[in-house]
Structure 1
Amino acid sequence: MTVNAHLEELHCLPAYDFPRRGEPDEQSTLPEPESVAWRLAVDPDGGESFEECWKRFLETVDPAGVRALVIGQWGEAGDEDCAPVIELVTAARDRLTGLVAVFLGDLVARETEISWIQQADVTPLLEAFPALEELGVRGGDGLAFPAVRHERLRTLAFESGGLPAQVVRGVAASELPALRWLEMWLGVPEYGGDWTVEDIAPLLEADRFPELRHLGLQNTEVQDELAARVAKAPVVPRLTSLSLSMGTLTDTGAEALLEGRSLTHLQLLDLHHHYLSDAMTTRLRAALEPHGVEVDLDEQEEPEEDSEGIWRYAAVTE
């Protein structure tokens, strides 16, 4: 599986493509600045640089009204990292006074593979915008997230085929008192996911993020081991939704979940893209659905077998 569709919304606002230079609708009436999530992207072969696009955006749309930004292709994504883009956005902090949400790296497979997206240190966005409530990032190559303190951030999401260990550690060491939603596509070692299960452990503490209600530890080849850790985690009782999806979860991991802390208080247990048996999916539904828990068991995968062994795969890697 790859990421094949651009974001449709951000911060409950529909995504709207800021017209590229020379497009027929460039001079058309644009929506009110606060009514959409503005997606900015350039064609690397189209002649306009991202800096030129950004300047045109600030001259065309009242930046004080902008609430959400979706940053798409900024150049040759496999060769150019996003540091200059972050610098442009943060340099406009005094003009983007209403900004509350940013998604960085809204690229899909036809533009580049997720593991080829060149990221950078994204924490300057948090430092520049103390009112930011939502930050999403796609791509793990070059990504950095040193520990920060931010009072308002409610949603933090990383989509990657391999999340660097220092990002996991940086998040775990951060002070984010308002954080309610934490989503991590942790990925695999072959694509930069050099984290360990021990790096995850601080995220499972009860008081690490006191407002946390959703935890997603997704897209790994060690989903059973993660499930065993999560099953006993102090953070579980405060959650309303839990995702261990997109990975190689088998009956072993699901058994650990059933034997661990009660999950009957959850609204959603998301396990989609898994390697569970039919018998185990029946057990999970019987244990949780009578308590009102939605259990997502879509994408039941079958392991592949050859002369070298049995193979199970995370959903999004390259």
Structure 2
Amino acid sequence: MDHVQHLNGLPALTFPQFTHSARLPAAGAAAWRIELEDRDGDEASDVYWERFLTAMPAEDVRALIIGYPWYTEHGLGSMTEEITEASSRLVNLEALFLGDIVSEQSELSWMEQSDVAPVLEAYPRLRELAVRGSSGLAFPAVRHEALRTLRFECGGLPAEVVRGVLDSDLPALEHLELWLGDEYYGCDTTLEDLAPLLDGTRFPALRHLGLQNSTFQDDIAAAVAHAPVVARLESLSLSLGTLGDTGAEALLNGQPLTHLRSLDLHHHFLSDAMMLRIWEALEPAGVRVDLSGREDADEDEDDDGGRYVAAAE
């Protein structure tokens, strides 16, 4: 995984940790990354956070990216509470990314999250929420009128979180991305848990669906092949997981996908012949198909034929 480069259509820019004389862009011109390179304890983090809220000014900030060391097991703890408490100052916040941390800083499975529902309750105008990491993550059902994009990037998404999302009332949600991950890293989500999503009874505005990074990607593909929700999607992602020829065959034999603008299958285990079949079936219809990142299964491994997800540990 890489650092976030854009959020809410704005370029990411790290707010300087130490005071300096360089002129900063306007508060609403960037997605501000809050990240400490050198840590001197919680007091230093509190000073840094308060300086950011004061220097911008806070009422003009539109997008926030929270990075290192927050959300790491050896970090300063979750900033969810601090962000929630700052809602009276960050009155125009539209987008929030919790956990912009890469492997050089912390393994994905070591990242500590928390209950993120209070953030949505505190920011009724929030349009985009992305969360990286799932240890300690909670998402009880909420109602939110404005949220359009919701993403969970992790190596093991708990079923309880998935159920909370699908029980939520999110009438404006257009983009939903779930990295399901590996059972070893906390994924206990099943196809049954995803049924309310696949049958099209949830999220009437949904136009993009990502069911990704899964060890049962073939089963997901088979379910998606006949899922009513697909008919109203503009884009679909089944990337980052263990998709093989069995799942791809199910997609080709299922409902038409030619209405999609894009189908993302990158990081897969497809044969050359199957890749060609997908290409020939969809590209002439104008569907942008991403078949990059073909992986080779580890034949020495017994589980799932040696296939593996892109992001786990």
TM over 0.5: yes
CA distance in 2, matches of 1:160, 1:276: 23
Task: Establish whether residue 314 from structure 1 lines up as the match of residue 279 from structure 2.
Answer: no
* Structure 1 partner of 2:54: 59
Q: Which residue of 2 aligns with 1:104?
A: 98
The amino acid of 2:292's aligned partner reads: D
CA distance in 2, matches of 1:9, 1:66: 14
Q: Which runs of 4+ in 1 moved over 6 A?
A: none
- Tell me how far apart the structure 2 counterparts of residues 57 and 187 of structure 1 sit (CA, whole Å): 35
1:148-189 per-residue CA deviation (whole Å, 9 max, x = no partner) reads 010000000000011111111101111100000000111001
Aligned twin of 1:35: 29
Q: Secondary structure at the match of 1:151?
A: coil
Once the two structures are overlaid, the 10-residue window that deviates more, 300-309 or 218-227, is: 300-309
Question: What is the TM-score with the length of structure 2 in the denominator?
Answer: 0.96
Structure 1 counterpart of 2:229, from 211, 232, 235: 235
Shift in alpha-carbon separation, 1:198–1:44, aligned structure 2, 3 A: farther
Distance 1:200 1:76 in 2: 27
Look up the match of 2:152: 158
Task: Mark the CA change 1:306 to 1:28 in structure 2 (over 3 Å): closer, same or farther.
Answer: same
Instruction: Give the distance between the partners of 2:145 and 2:310, measured in 1 at CA.
Output: 33
Picking from 12, 16, 21, the partner of 1:19 is 16
Kindly indicate whether the alpha-carbon contact (under 8 Å) linking 2:71 and 2:77 is maintained by their aligned counterparts in 1: no
Gaps in structure 2 of 5+ consecutive residues: none
In 2, Cα distance between the equivalents of 1:220 and 1:81? 30
CA–CA separation in structure 2 for the residues paired with 1:292 and 1:39: 37
Task: Verify: 1:133 aligned to 2:124, yes or no.
Answer: no
Question: In structure 1, what is the equivalent of residue 80 of structure 2?
Answer: 86
C-alpha deviations, 1:261-301, integer Å up to 9, x for none? Answer: 11000000000000111111111011111110011000111
Using the aligned pairs only, state the percent identity. 55
**Does 2:60 match 1:72?**
no
With over 3 angstroms needed to count, the CA separation of the structure-2 counterparts of 1:308 and 1:259, relative to structure 1, is: closer
Please tell me the residue identity of whatever aligns with 1:70. I
**RMSD value over aligned CA atoms?**
1.5
Q: Does the Cα contact within 8 Å between 2:71 and 2:111 map onto a contact in 1?
A: no
Q: 1:308 to 1:58 in 2, by over 3 A?
A: closer
Conservation of the 8 A alpha-carbon contact between 1:43 and 1:75: no
Contact 2:80 2:116 in 1 (8 A): yes
Who is 2:177 aligned against? Answer: 183
Whether the 8 Å contact between 2:242 and 2:307 is mirrored in structure 1 is yes
Alignment TM-score, normalising by the size of structure 1: 0.94
C-alpha distance in structure 2 between counterparts of 1:254 and 1:81, whole Å: 43
- Secondary structure of 1:49's match? helix
